[in-house]
């Protein structure tokens, strides 16, 4: 079994799975249950001066019967007295000395930061996470994302905290910014020991169409919230990867954003995360999901021949290229397995209306190509066409000369492994757009001035 333990800027954790600073890490009782379930660490619900909350606080996006594809909240930081939180932190650290407790912090003046950090460290936390991310409520008071969106301010406050902190300081970044590198590098410049990202995305999650008020509704009104959950994972992955590959970022990253299972976690780690933080999936299904996360990640590492999760970290980072460095001569073709096809023909309509018009019904041996098709004349069913066991001649066929290898058919196909994207033998020579730029061959026929 692969070793899942990590060292995050000197913070040792039995595994990379941490609860994110959010309702699941609100109290000591919760955090202890989470540790019992297998979580390696918890970033405590943000501490500061207790706030007042509203009702309701959450809204979600459901998709085709699945609940909470995306979650939005307008809840603020802890509403409990600091001393109560600190007493619970002490107790948890005493009972679970090998597990990680990081205090998420949010306050205003330098003196506030000094006192807050000292009290937390006295309670025994393993590290500090500066909440420069929340895009709702607290930002209206000059905290949260209003700091994260101002790199100079972020750097300054980070520097203050580093003056006072004895434990590692993580800066939690907001994605509500044009270029994540700016706040990320500002954190580095301020002396941060690690970066956590992403915090939630500023959002209106929906509108109550009967009352014509956005949700979540508080009486007759609503406010923008912070969006998270599976829907934001791609945005988070991009931002984590952008920081991970930047030469200026030489500190560990704690990946956050829509992580629901070991696969999501493995992707964040492969793009450079050292630990991962989870909130929405726990809010949906409870702490128990960590069992599969631990087991699944461990099995995956074994299968990949990796002895430690540290071997996975950053392995997909070099796979990222600028678009201009992609091989223009690499080609894929869609291939439908006739015996797996159930004949829904979703691929066909997706290709015709949403892609490149190269999939036709099995019953047609020949089809007129649409007039705008790249190649003219009729499309002819390949001689290799086979009717399917389940779908007969409802199995569509691919007009191969027109297939651009875009993947859309495979993405819409409901049957796993029914459509495969097959590599066309390579011409042998890679060529990128940047190669063409270098050779002055960027002009395609049919341009603006032709």
- Binding of other proteins by 348 (CB under 8 A): yes
Whether the bond into 317 is cis, omega within 30 of 0: no
Closest approach of other proteins to the CB of residue 343, in Å: 5
Binding of other proteins by 215 (CB under 8 A):
no
For residues 439 and 310, what is the distance between their CA atoms, to the nearest angstrom?
41
- Interface pick for other proteins out of 50, 361, 401, 405 (rule CB under 8 A): 361
Full DSSP string of 83-109: HHHHHHHHHHHHH-TTSEEEEEE--SS
Give the whole-angstrom CA distance, residue 266 versus residue 437. Answer: 36
Nearer to other proteins, 142 or 392 (CB): 392
Tell me how far, at minimum, the Cβ of 345 lies from other proteins, in Å.
4
Burial (Cβ within 10 Å: 0-12, 13-18, ≥19) of residue 385: middle
Which of 346, 380, 386, 404 touches other proteins by CB under 8 A? 346
Q: Calculate Rg over the CA atoms of the chain.
A: 26
What's the CA gap between 5 and 40, in Å, rounded? 9
The one segment of 110-118, 223-231, 275-283, 344-352 that binds other proteins by CB under 8 A = 344-352
H or E stretch including 155? helix 151-164
Does position 394 bind other proteins by CB under 8 A?
Answer: yes
Residue 150: both structure tokens together: 């101002």
| Residue placing its CB nearer to other proteins in the complex, 61 or 309 | 61
Report the C-alpha gap between 72 and 49 in whole angstroms.
Answer: 23
Distance in angstroms (rounded) separating the CA atoms of residues 189 and 249: 10
Tell me how far, at minimum, the Cβ of 398 lies from other proteins, in Å.
16
Tokens of 412: 């819409």
355 binds other proteins (CB under 8 A): no
One of 415, 424, 437, 438 touching other proteins (CB under 8 A):
415
Q: Does 349 bind other proteins (CB under 8 A)?
A: yes
Asked if 275 interacts with other proteins (CB under 8 A), we say: no
Stretch near other proteins under the rule CB under 8 A, chosen from 35-43, 96-104, 120-128, 342-350: 342-350
- In the complex, the smallest distance separating the C-beta of residue 62 from other proteins, rounded to whole angstroms, is 9
Measured distance CA(276)–CA(19) in Å, rounded: 8
- 127: nearest Cα among 193, 204, 34, 39: 193
Note whether 32 binds other proteins by CB under 8 A.
no
Nearer to other proteins, 328 or 411 (CB): 411
Of 64, 322, 417, 450, the residue at the interface with other proteins (CB under 8 A) is 64
Please say which residue, 375 or 415, places its beta carbon nearer to other proteins.
415
Q: Of the candidates 342, 373, 386, 406, which one interacts with other proteins according to CB under 8 A?
A: 342
CB 410 to other proteins: min, Å: 15
The residue from 206, 343, 401, 405 that contacts other proteins (CB under 8 A) is 343
- β-sheet bridge partners, residue 421: 334
Residue from 46, 345, 357, 410 in contact with other proteins (CB under 8 A): 345
Which residue number, 92 or 215, has a Cβ lying nearer to other proteins?
215
List Cβ neighbours of 171 (8 Å cut-off, separation of 6 or more). Answer: 129, 130, 132, 154, 158, 183, 187, 190, 192, 194, 195, 196
Residues for the chain: how many in total? 450
Report how far residue 185's alpha carbon sits from residue 122's, in angstroms, rounded to the nearest whole number.
29
Out of 116, 195, 391, 398, the residue judged to bind other proteins by CB under 8 A: 391
Regarding 65 and contact with other proteins (CB under 8 A), the answer is yes
Instruction: Name the segment binding other proteins (CB under 8 A); options: 87-95, 145-153, 340-348, 419-427.
Output: 340-348
- 414 is a site residue for other proteins (CB under 8 A): yes
Q: In this structure, what token pair is assigned to residue 125? A: 């936390």
The CA distance from 351 to 80, in Å, is 55
Q: Which of 134, 351, 403, 418 is catalytic?
A: 134
Size of the site for other proteins (CB under 8 A): 16
Nearer to other proteins by C-beta: 320 or 385?
A: 385
Closest to other proteins by CB, 110 vs 352, is 352
CB of 401 to other proteins, least distance (A): 23
Let me know if 134 is a catalytic residue. Answer: yes
Q: Judged by CB, which is closer to other proteins: 244, or 341?
A: 341
As a three-state string, the secondary structure of 278-345 is ECHHHHHHCHHHHHHHHHHHHHHHHHCCCCEHHHCCCCCCCCCCCHHHCECCCCEEEEECCCCCCCCC
**178 vs 414, which CB is nearer to other proteins?**
414
What residues make contact with other proteins under the rule CB under 8 A? Answer: 64-65, 342-346, 348-349, 361, 389-391, 394, 414-415
Residues annotated as catalytic are 134
């Amino acid at each position: 079994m692969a070793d899942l333990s990590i060292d995050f800027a000197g913070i040792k954790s039995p595994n990379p799975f941490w609860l994110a600073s959010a309702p699941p890490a609100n109290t000591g009782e919760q955090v202890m249950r989470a540790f019992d379930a297998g979580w390696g660490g918890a970033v405590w619900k943000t501490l500061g001066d207790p706030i007042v909350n509203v009702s309701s606080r959450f809204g979600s996006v459901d998709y085709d019967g699945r609940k909470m594809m995306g979650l939005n909240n307008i809840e603020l930081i802890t509403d409990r007295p600091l001393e109560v939180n600190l007493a619970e932190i002490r107790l948890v650290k005493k009972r679970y000395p090998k597990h990680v407790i990081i205090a998420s912090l949010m306050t205003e003046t330098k003196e506030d930061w000094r006192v807050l950090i000292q009290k937390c460290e006295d309670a025994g936390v393993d590290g500090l996470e500066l909440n420069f991310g929340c895009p709702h409520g607290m930002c209206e008071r000059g905290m949260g994302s209003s700091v994260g969106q101002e790199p100079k301010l972020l750097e300054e406050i980070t520097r203050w905290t580093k003056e006072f902190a004895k434990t590692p300081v993580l800066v939690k970044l907001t994605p509500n910014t044009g270029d994540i590198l700016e706040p990320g590098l500002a954190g580095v410049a301020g002396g941060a020991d690690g970066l956590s990202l992403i915090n939630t995305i500023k959002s209106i999650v929906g509108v109550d169409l009967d009352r014509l008020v956005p949700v979540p509704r508080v009486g007759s009104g609503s406010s923008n919230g912070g969006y998270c959950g599976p829907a934001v994972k791609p945005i988070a992955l991009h931002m984590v990867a952008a920081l991970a590959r930047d030469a200026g970022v030489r500190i560990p990253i704690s990946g956050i954003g829509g992580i629901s299972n070991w696969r999501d976690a493995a992707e964040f780690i492969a793009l450079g995360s050292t630990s991962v933080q989870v909130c929405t999936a726990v809010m949906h299904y409870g702490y128990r999901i960590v069992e599969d996360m631990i087991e699944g990640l461990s099995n995956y590492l074994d299968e990949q021949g990796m002895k430690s999760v540290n071997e996975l970290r950053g392995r997909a980072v070099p796979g990222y290229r600028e678009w201009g460095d992609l091989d223009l001569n690499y080609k894929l073709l869609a291939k439908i397995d006739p015996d797996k096809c159930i004949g829904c023909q979703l691929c066909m309509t997706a290709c015709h209306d949403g892609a490149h018009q190269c999939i036709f019904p099995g019953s047609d041996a020949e089809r007129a190509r649409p007039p705008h098709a790249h190649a003219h004349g009729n499309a002819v069913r390949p001689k290799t066409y086979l009717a399917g066991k389940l779908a007969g001649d409802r199995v569509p066929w691919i007009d191969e000369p027109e297939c651009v290898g875009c993947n859309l058919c495979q993405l819409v196909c409901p049957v796993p492994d029914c459509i495969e994207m097959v590599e066309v033998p390579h011409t042998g020579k890679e060529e990128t757009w940047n190669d063409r730029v270098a050779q002055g061959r960027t002009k395609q026929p049919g341009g603006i001035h032709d």
